[in-house]
Chains A and B, each alone.
Chain A
């Protein structure tokens, strides 16, 4: 199975400051169709995960534009340009290029 490794696992951030989470995969996530199926999810306390970013950089409907995704191959990043209080939670990357889909360990974002 593809191993997804996130860093950091804990991310204390001051309100209004930027934040960045790295996600690395153990093999390329470029699919045979040329697409890269790397996605980012946010899980707020007490809620189900929700998709923020799909296919590396496309924002899901309703996701604020302070969230952005980038990367290629095996190396990906989620950035929050200015952290707000509602961004507290756990962030996961996930690949669905290869079965089974696999998730990173999660990065817990908290406000300093």
Chain B
């Protein structure tokens, strides 16, 4: 069964850091693109970052460049999003997904940035 399970969300103060994880089962992420998308009431759905399975190519939305870093662990079939210098407008539900086109979604993990 294809399944994506996110974890690592929580409450963090502005300027803080969080590391999101996405455990993938049912397919190998080794040679495909994987993505992080976030959902906020104000801005809706937004593609944050994506990475090619073998780790060579990465893309980031402008608002997170220099603060977020996407990575993969092929051996454990997992995807990560390291989020530093968090701001209030990073508050969102974060989803991992298969491909640029988000063919499969996880259940999401909530990140709240607030003092």
Contact = CB atoms under 8 A, between A and B. Distances in A.
A49 B44 contact: no
Given A99-B59, A102-B47, A103-B44, A48 B108 contact: yes
B103, B106, B108: most-surrounded residue (chain A CB, <10 A): B103
B101 A49 contact: no
A27 B23 CA distance: 35
Nearest to A60: B103
Contacts of A92: 44-45
B11 interface: no
B47 A100 contact: yes
Contacts of A76: none
B59 A48 contact: no
A54 B50 CA distance: 18
Contact of A41 (B50, B62, B99, B102): B102
A101 B100 contact: yes
